[in-house]
């Protein structure tokens, strides 16, 4: 925790802050918080980010945001909660800021876990941090391949059940009988082949998190039993008359339109409202173009059959960033796994990518909504650039990536317009 004055100066810091964020050669007492945390020359809101101090000053109340801070270990996601200190006339005289490093995701290339720093990724990660400590059921919504299981695991790790098991149930392709026996378990002799009693996945998840993946595929006839389990924690093994009690945190995920399925009678309305207490929308990869170089580096760190370090030619990386990615992160991983087999000298080139790749030739499924491509840098006039800057929520680097120009070029144009 740190104490700040209304001019953004750090007045004091506790031992935990010094241990997590302090370094001997970079003093912070008396320095501006935005310079220490972001290396900015101006406050966060003037740099295009959400500034909790500005919000707290306006509302005279607390504000919370997920930021990426510079730390001794490099850039990290940090959950920031700021509270104003008011005098007798309700004027702000100082602020207390709590900073908590988010361990469930990385803001730089990583050999495991969630990786990203784009605004849409940070919004989903921020939602995970808010709901994690509660026991609310979480519903992860997003296209196939957007990393639902990794986000579900992040919810688990941010919860009080983090020390318990994380149990995955793949609901797709399970018949009603198989779904019930897998989920609830069965007694010896319950059916042919049931030679011993078997625990179900619900019992296995005791004290932890039960992740129901592809929830939209749960048979309609099983949904009433699942509703009873979620509402009361009660279930019975197949072939048993004894009621069991379960204790778990529920996270569900689907790429299907559950609300439409409710309207069509294919999904129970009461079950939908029970599992969707806290929906989190996961962004498709085409909305995270700025994260692609980091994701590429991360996947290339995660093994493969080559004996040498693999990198990506700049032109090939540019192709990766403009591809539509209908298969999202799963498709990216598969493309890289294939390309690295051709990179005999350790460099992935454009010819190692699928034919026509990165030229807008991919055809997303009809269910996907693809945003129109951004204007090229040369065709973005000053007026259009100023309008875009006024509404853009990301960093200058991310804006430069979206406009397909270098950050230095963008800075020069903004400086000419007096907007730098």
Which pLDDT tens digit goes with each residue over 223-271?
998 999 999 999 989 888 889 899 999 999 999 999 999 999 999 999 9
Task: Mean pLDDT check: name the lowest of 126-135, 278-287, 322-331, 401-410.
Answer: 401-410
Output the pLDDT for position 404.
65
Region 131-141: what's the mean pLDDT? 96
Q: Which of 126, 149, 29 minimizes the C-alpha distance to 68?
A: 126
Q: How many CB atoms lie within 10 A of CB 156?
A: 24
pTM of the model: 0.81
Helix axes 292-301, 314-322, angle to 10 degrees: 120
Q: Side by side, which strands form the sheet with 138-141?
A: 166-170, 208-213, 248-254, 138-141, 278-281
Output the pLDDT for position 206.
94
Alpha carbon distance 184, 169 (integer Å): 11
Alpha carbon distance 102, 14 (integer Å): 19
Q: Which of 303, 311, 348 minimizes the C-alpha distance to 111?
A: 303
pLDDT of 418 higher than 80: no
**Cα of 264 vs its chain's centroid, Å:** 30
Output the pLDDT for position 369.
32
Task: Mean pLDDT check: name the lowest of 88-92, 110-114, 173-177, 353-357.
Answer: 173-177
CA distances from 110 to 143, 161, 294, 300, 334 (A): 23, 25, 8, 10, 18
Q: How many CB atoms lie within 10 A of CB 342?
A: 11
DSSP symbol at 44: G
* 92 in Cβ contact with 6 (< 8 Å): yes
* 396 in Cβ contact with 410 (< 8 Å): yes
pLDDT of 309 higher than 90: no
Phi-psi region of 297 (alpha: psi -120 to 50; beta: other; left: phi over 0): alpha
Residue 104 CB contacts under 8 Å (≥ 6 apart), including other chains: 113, 114, 125, 128, 153, 154, 157, 158
Alpha carbon distance 161, 243 (integer Å): 23
Q: Tell me the pLDDT band of 297, cut-offs 50, 70 and 90.
A: very high
Output the pLDDT for position 362.
43
Predicted confidence (pLDDT) per residue in 184-224, tens digit: 998 888 888 888 888 999 999 999 999 999 999 998 888 99
Output the pLDDT for position 373.
36
Task: Kindly report the average pLDDT of the chain as a whole number.
Answer: 87
Output the pLDDT for position 276.
95
Q: Tell me the pLDDT band of 403, cut-offs 50, 70 and 90.
A: confident
Q: Tell me the pLDDT band of 302, cut-offs 50, 70 and 90.
A: confident
Predicted confidence (pLDDT) per residue in 27-40, tens digit: 899 999 999 999 99
Calculate what percentage of the chain has a pLDDT beyond 70: 89
Sign, CA dihedral 79-32-25-68, equals positive
Output the pLDDT for position 24.
72
Alpha carbon distance 397, 400 (integer Å): 5
Helix axes 119-131, 148-157, angle to 10 degrees: 40
Predicted confidence (pLDDT) per residue in 343-390, tens digit: 999 999 999 999 877 655 444 333 333 333 333 343 466 766 776 776
Token pair in block for residue 108? 């730089």
Q: Tell me the pLDDT band of 136, cut-offs 50, 70 and 90.
A: very high
Predicted confidence (pLDDT) per residue in 17-28, tens digit: 999 998 777 889
Residue 58 CB contacts under 8 Å (≥ 6 apart), including other chains: none
Calculate what percentage of the chain has a pLDDT beyond 90: 66
Output the pLDDT for position 194.
81
Output the pLDDT for position 368.
31
Residue 397 CB contacts under 8 Å (≥ 6 apart), including other chains: 290, 407
State the greatest distance between any 2 C-alpha atoms of the chain, in Å, as a whole number. 80
Q: What are phi and psi of 76, to 5 degrees?
A: -140, 150
Task: Mean pLDDT check: name the lowest of 68-77, 106-115, 299-308.
Answer: 299-308
Q: Rounded to the nearest 5 degrees, what angle is found at the Cα of 312, between the Cα atoms of 311 and 318?
A: 155
């Amino acid at each position: 925790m740190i104490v700040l004055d209304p001019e953004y100066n750090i007045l004091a810091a506790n031992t935990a802050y010094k241990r997590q964020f302090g370094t001997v050669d970079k003093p912070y007492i008396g320095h501006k918080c935005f310079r220490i945390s972001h290396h900015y020359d101006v406050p966060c809101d003037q740099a295009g980010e959400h500034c909790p101090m500005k919000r707290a000053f306006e509302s005279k109340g607390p504000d919370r945001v997920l930021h990426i801070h510079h730390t001794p270990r490099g850039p990290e996601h940090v959950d920031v909660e700021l509270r104003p200190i008011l005098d007798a006339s309700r004027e702000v005289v100082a602020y207390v800021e709590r900073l908590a490093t988010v361990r469930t995701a990385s803001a730089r290339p990583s050999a495991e876990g969630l990786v990203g720093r784009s605004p849409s990724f940070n919004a989903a990660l921020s939602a995970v941090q808010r709901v994690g400590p509660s026991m609310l059921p979480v519903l992860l919504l997003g296209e196939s391949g957007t990393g639902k299981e990794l986000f579900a695991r992040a919810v688990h790790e941010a919860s009080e059940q983090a020390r318990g098991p994380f149990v995955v149930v793949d609901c797709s392709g399970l018949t009603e009988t198989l779904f019930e026996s897998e989920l609830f378990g069965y007694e010896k002799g319950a059916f042919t082949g049931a030679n011993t009693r078997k625990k179900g996945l619900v019992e296995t998840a005791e004290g932890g998190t039960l992740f129901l993946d592809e929830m939209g595929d749960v048979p309609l006839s099983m949904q009433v039993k699942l509703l009873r389990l979620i509402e009361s924690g009660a279930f019975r093994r197949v072939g048993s008359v004894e009621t069991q009690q379960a204790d778990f945190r529920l996270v569900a995920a689907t790429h299907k339109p559950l609300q439409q399925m409710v309207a069509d009678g294919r999904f129970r309305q009461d079950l939908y409202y029970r599992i969707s207490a806290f929906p989190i929308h996961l962004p498709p990869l085409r909305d995270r173009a700025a994260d692609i170089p980091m994701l590429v580096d991360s996947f290339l760190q995660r093994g493969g059959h080559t004996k040498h370090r693999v990198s990506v030619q700049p032109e090939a990386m540019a192709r990766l960033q403009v591809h539509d990615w209908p298969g999202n992160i799963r498709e990216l991983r598969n493309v890289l796994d294939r390309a690295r087999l051709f990179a005999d000298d350790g460099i992935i080139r454009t010819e190692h990518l699928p034919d026509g790749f990165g030229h807008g030739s991919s055809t997303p499924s009809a269910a996907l909504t693809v945003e129109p491509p951004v204007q090229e840098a040369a065709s973005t006039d000053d007026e259009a650039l100023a309008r875009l800057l006024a509404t853009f929520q990301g960093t200058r680097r991310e804006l430069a990536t979206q406009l397909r120009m270098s950050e230095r070029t963008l800075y020069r144009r903004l400086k000419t317009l007096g907007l730098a």
